[in-house]
Amino acid sequence: QSAEELPTKFDPVVIASRLRRMGDQCNMDFENVSSEALAEVLKGKMEKFGSAVETLSQSWCDQNPELVYERAFLCVSVKLLMHVIKKVSAMVQPIQLIKAINGNSRVRNHIEACGGWVRM
């Protein structure tokens, strides 16, 4: 989209769609990744969600230096949340994604620098 076509109002449906597309870009197989925090999340211990996303994002960036950390974090967080919903949906609340994003100052600052969710 060009700058003229970008929305000016926060539309959660548009934001969710963009986040889903970002999550689709993550090709991690969470079942074959070794991470203590991830193992806890996969068992339904969602308090470790932010920590697992941080570890996985950094690992993905280390393997793919062309990746921007903040974008990797968003992609991994959405992909992991979707994966966990399939495994232990009763333990998952959308607030966990919000907490993970807002709890990471680098990602939060990146979103703000881009002009907020409307411009992401």
Structure tokens at 64: 């793919």
Q: What is the mean pLDDT of residues 99-115?
A: 91
70's CB contacts (< 8 A; 6+ apart) are 106, 107, 110, 111
Residue 8 — very low, low, confident or very high, per pLDDT cuts 50/70/90?
Answer: low
Residues for the chain: how many in total? 120
pLDDT exceeds cutoff 80 at 112: yes
Please give the residue that has the higher pLDDT: either 113 or 4: 113
Amino acid at 104: N
With beta carbons less than 8 A apart as the criterion, state whether 84 and 41 touch. yes
The ranges assigned to domains in the chain are 12-114
With beta carbons less than 8 A apart as the criterion, state whether 82 and 75 touch. no
For the stretch 63-79, pLDDT in tens is 999 999 999 999 999 99
Q: What's the pTM?
A: 0.84
